[in-house]
């Protein structure tokens, strides 16, 4: 009876659509040192650490401590030997951070500018250089750098948040001197967008383009904003214009790929992402988005390959490990799935779905006892009908039919419209009654 019930119930435990978090770089020592040089608050940095995870070792921790990192920040950093590198913090950034504390802004700015020559899209470095220019009274230059930083790393916006009023005052002063400066309108649009004033941001981007139709960052920002507003056709037009004006700009191609995906043009999305990585092999963003497009096109093997690259670039991202585990599970690569899902559970122990899929993979490989623990944890974290149903299947596999029936009844009560649950509950009752009459 037991093997029949396992098959009968388990075929209904399906893989739900994958969910991806926006891929962001794992926090490493160069990022932290640059943010410290830019006087970012510990609260902001700790928040980003919790969001992204870290790729640090004990050597880097010592360097941060010697650079006067706050006790709260050091406490938030937990070195993970499995996800860290042996590369120390760049000496020029350590030196720049020290110079900033000594208010030697010109010398610090030179070091940061030199670092940017080989890492032009590093939002943390632009953030630090923005602070240097702010301290030197160069408000226009400062907000240029802060705006670039915001474009590169949209989840780290402390200065634009804290200096919103000062920023707008500086922009108004610039417009008083030069009322037809398209760049100023564009930068004001970035600040307005950061403040969630989307209508104002759209108006400012359009004003910038009215004054300078060749300003590709304004086309790109307007396209991304329109995409968020589900105006996908117009968003595509703006981003294609930005691509034409700046064909080698990776952020434009990534944004266009995202909009194509949103519009359901999966083949175009795949083409855009692939061209992006051909032009910029070291570009670290977008591999999870390309995987999502491959998934929509039912190309599981290519999706798995892209997610494997994504987790290499961002080993502390639980969402990517969980999504990769789901795909490997769907592809019946059970042992590989278990490895990825264990990492996901380790990184995000409060994720019910990570426990659920790990339990599913373990049950598929007949590891019923550890699977049972995972399903119980999934039910504890999220007592949904699906999780109770999966727990019932696992309980049957260990011979606990009465407990399984109780879980099945909970699933039926939680989702009374699901006929499958009713049918399986009745089947389980009949099989239990049949076994009891023998």
Q: What is the pLDDT, as a whole number, of residue 351?
A: 92
Assess if residue 294 is contained within a domain: no
Q: What is the pLDDT, as a whole number, of residue 152?
A: 74
CA distance 184 to 188: 6
Assess if residue 17 is contained within a domain: yes
Q: What is the pLDDT, as a whole number, of residue 9?
A: 43
For 328-386, what is each residue's pLDDT tens digit? 999 999 999 999 999 999 988 999 999 999 999 999 999 999 999 999 999 999 999 99
CA distance 322 to 21: 11
Residues with Cβ within 8 Å of 388's Cβ and at least 6 positions away in sequence, in order, are 379, 407, 408, 410, 411, 414
Assess if residue 409 is contained within a domain: yes
Most confident segment among 42-51, 73-82, 243-252, 309-318: 243-252
Q: Which domain holds residue 409?
A: 1-21+351-438
Q: How confident is the model at residue 144 (pLDDT cuts 50, 70, 90)?
A: confident
Residues with Cβ within 8 Å of 181's Cβ and at least 6 positions away in sequence, in order, are 174, 175, 211
**What is the overall mean pLDDT for the chain?**
82
Q: How many domains does the chain have?
A: 1
Ranges 137-141, 218-222, 404-408, 424-428: which has the least confidence: 137-141
Assess if residue 195 is contained within a domain: no
Kindly state the average pLDDT of the residues 177-198: 82
Global confidence as pTM: 0.62
Q: Is the pLDDT of residue 17 over 70?
A: no
Assess if residue 390 is contained within a domain: yes
Q: What is the pLDDT, as a whole number, of residue 28?
A: 78
Assess if residue 380 is contained within a domain: yes
Query: pLDDT over 70 for what percent of the chain?
Result: 84
Q: What is the pLDDT, as a whole number, of residue 213?
A: 96
Q: What is the pLDDT, as a whole number, of residue 340?
A: 95
Assess if residue 142 is contained within a domain: no
Q: What is the pLDDT, as a whole number, of residue 15?
A: 42
For 28-62, what is each residue's pLDDT tens digit? 788 888 888 887 777 777 777 777 777 776 666 77
CATH number of the domain bearing residue 422: 1.25.40.10
> Using an 8 Å Cβ cutoff, are 365 and 51 in contact?
no
Assess if residue 391 is contained within a domain: yes
> Using an 8 Å Cβ cutoff, are 218 and 238 in contact?
no
Q: What is the pLDDT, as a whole number, of residue 13?
A: 43
């Amino acid at each position: 009876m037991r093997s029949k019930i396992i098959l009968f119930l388990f075929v209904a435990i399906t893989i739900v659509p994958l969910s991806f978090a926006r891929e962001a770089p794992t926090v490493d020592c160069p990022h932290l040192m640059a943010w410290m040089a830019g006087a970012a608050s510990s609260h902001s940095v700790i928040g980003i650490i919790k969001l992204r995870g870290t790729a640090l070792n004990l050597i880097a921790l010592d360097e941060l401590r010697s650079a006067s990192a706050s006790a709260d920040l050091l406490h938030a950093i937990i070195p993970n030997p499995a996800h860290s590198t042996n590369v120390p913090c760049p000496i020029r950034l350590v030196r720049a951070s020290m110079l900033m504390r000594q208010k030697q802004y010109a010398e610090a700015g030179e070091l940061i500018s030199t670092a940017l020559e080989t890492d032009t899209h590093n939002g943390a470095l632009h953030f630090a250089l923005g602070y240097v220019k702010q301290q030197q009274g160069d408000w226009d230059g400062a907000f240029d750098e802060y705006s670039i930083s915001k474009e590169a790393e949209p989840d780290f916006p402390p200065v634009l948040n804290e200096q919103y009023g000062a920023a707008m005052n500086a922009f108004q002063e610039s417009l008083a001197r030069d009322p037809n400066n398209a760049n100023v309108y564009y930068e004001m649009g970035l600040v307005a967008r950061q403040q969630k004033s989307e209508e104002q941001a759209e108006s400012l981007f359009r004003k910038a383009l009215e004054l300078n139709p060749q300003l590709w960052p304004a086309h790109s920002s307007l396209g991304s904003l329109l995409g968020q507003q589900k105006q996908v056709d117009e968003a595509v037009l703006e981003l294609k214009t930005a691509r034409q004006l700046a064909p080698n700009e990776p952020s434009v191609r990534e944004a266009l790929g995202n909009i194509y995906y949103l519009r359901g043009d999966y083949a175009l999305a795949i083409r855009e992402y692939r061209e992006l990585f051909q032009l910029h092999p070291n570009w670290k963003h977008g591999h999870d988005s390309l995987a999502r497009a491959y998934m929509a096109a039912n190309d599981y093997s290519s999706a798995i390959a892209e997610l494997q690259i994504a987790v290499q670039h961002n080993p502390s991202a639980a969402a990517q490990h969980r999504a990769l585990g789901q795909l490997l599970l769907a592809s019946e690569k059970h042992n590989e799935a278990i490895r990825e899902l264990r990492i996901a559970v380790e990184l995000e122990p409060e994720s019910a779905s990570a426990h659920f899929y790990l339990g599913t993979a373990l049950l598929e490989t007949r590891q019923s006892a550890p699977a049972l623990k995972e399903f119980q944890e999934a039910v504890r974290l999220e007592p949904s009908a699906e999780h109770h149903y999966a727990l019932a299947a696992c309980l049957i596999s260990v011979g606990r039919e009465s407990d399984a029936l109780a879980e099945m009844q909970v699933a039926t009560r939680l989702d009374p419209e699901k006929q499958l649950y009713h049918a399986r509950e009745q089947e389980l009752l009949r099989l239990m009654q049949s076994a009891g009459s023998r």
